[in-house]
Amino acid sequence: MSNLTNTLFVGKVLLRFEALESTNEYAVNLVSKNKPSEGTVITAFDQTKGRGQIGRSWSSEPGKNLTFSLILYPKMLPVRHQFLLNQAIALGLSDYLRQYFKDVRIKWPNDIYIGDRKICGILIQNLLSGSNIQASIIGIGLNVNQCEFDPSLPNPTSLAKEMGKTLDLDEVLAKLCESLELRYLQLRADKPSILKKDYLEQLYRFQESALFQYPDGKLFSGQIVGVTEAGKLRIHHQNGEEHFDVREVSFVI
């Protein structure tokens, strides 16, 4: 166990492991047993069964990248507004990367891209009680020093590939925790308009013509015009505006 010093609470408790099947699963079990302090971070040198959105796996070369989970207690946030947490976390990651790259974008709902290349994935698991969120487990996988990837992955990249040098994982994690905390504090201070505005400004392919695909394989062209309060993607196409959740549409171009 060690901690980070330049934050108020994010990373103040830092649990390090050589290997875990899933840092998110470990965090969920931890919350259910003894409710660790808010901002607790669980990180693993090797995550053997990491998961991404919609049940996809997240593969990472051991010791090369950051695979960690952050425990938060956004009890002030109604369930109907839970996508604000997604926005805050995605913006925290984007803020960190924008210190080094100009073309950082958030690919809905919460992947982080540099240009057209994916560098980071986020998986948020909310534990609910009635109409409020009791705890949130934020799983983050950031490609840092890995330079060779499974050829089946369409567009991966890493900090090392983009910057041409190896980075210190502890330094990256410390800076990330600072960026994540700042955006979470905006959420706690009830500043949704700032989060919504910044999220749209950084949204991948926002207000650009693009090709999308329905689950049945049918293609259609449209333009992203926003995101609903519930986090659905608003796409305007030839038949008007349609709203999609993450299982109902995917990008093609």
Calculate what percentage of the chain has a pLDDT beyond 70: 94
pLDDT at position 134, please?
Answer: 92
Residue 8 lies in a domain: no
* Local confidence band at 193 (pLDDT 50, 70, 90 cut-offs): very high
* Local confidence band at 129 (pLDDT 50, 70, 90 cut-offs): confident
Q: Which domain holds residue 246?
A: 209-251
User: Does one domain contain both 221 and 191?
Assistant: no
Tell me the mean pLDDT in the region 41-49: 90
Residue 4 lies in a domain: no
- Residue 44: beta bridge partners? 17
22-43 burial by CB neighbour count: b if 16+ within 10 A, else e?
A: bbbbbbbebbeeeebebbbbbb
Tell me the mean pLDDT in the region 34-58: 78
User: Does one domain contain both 110 and 195?
Assistant: yes
In this model, does residue 2 exceed pLDDT 70? no
User: Does one domain contain both 125 and 50?
Assistant: yes
8 A C-beta contact, residue 104 and residue 93: no
* CATH code, 222: 2.30.30
Tell me the mean pLDDT in the region 116-137: 94
Burial (CB count <10 Å: 0-12, 13-18, 19+), residue 238: exposed
Tell me the mean pLDDT in the region 48-66: 69
User: Does one domain contain both 87 and 108?
Assistant: yes
pLDDT at position 153, please?
Answer: 85
Calculate what percentage of the chain has a pLDDT beyond 90: 86
Q: What is the chain's mean pLDDT, rounded?
A: 93
The Cα angle at residue 97 between residues 96 and 101, in degrees rounded to 5: 140
8 A C-beta contact, residue 96 and residue 171: no
* CATH code, 89: 3.30.930.10
pLDDT at position 108, please?
Answer: 96
User: Does one domain contain both 158 and 237?
Assistant: no
pLDDT, one tens digit per residue, over 67-114 is 999 999 999 999 999 999 999 999 999 999 999 999 999 999 989 999
User: Does one domain contain both 93 and 56?
Assistant: yes
Question: 232: left (phi > 0), else alpha (psi -120 to 50), else beta?
Answer: beta
pLDDT at position 52, please?
Answer: 52
User: Does one domain contain both 86 and 46?
Assistant: yes
User: Does one domain contain both 63 and 167?
Assistant: yes
User: Does one domain contain both 142 and 218?
Assistant: no
Domain count within the chain: 2
Residue 5 lies in a domain: no
pLDDT at position 152, please?
Answer: 85
Residue 22 lies in a domain: yes
Residue 163 lies in a domain: yes
pLDDT at position 132, please?
Answer: 87
pTM of the model: 0.93
User: Does one domain contain both 176 and 66?
Assistant: yes
pLDDT at position 151, please?
Answer: 87
pLDDT at position 54, please?
Answer: 46
pLDDT, one tens digit per residue, over 143-185 is 999 999 988 888 999 999 999 999 999 999 999 999 999 999 9
User: Does one domain contain both 92 and 138?
Assistant: yes
Residue 171 lies in a domain: yes
User: Does one domain contain both 108 and 149?
Assistant: yes
In this model, does residue 117 exceed pLDDT 90? yes
Residue 144 lies in a domain: yes
In this model, does residue 1 exceed pLDDT 80? no
Residue 7 lies in a domain: no
In this model, does residue 53 exceed pLDDT 60? no
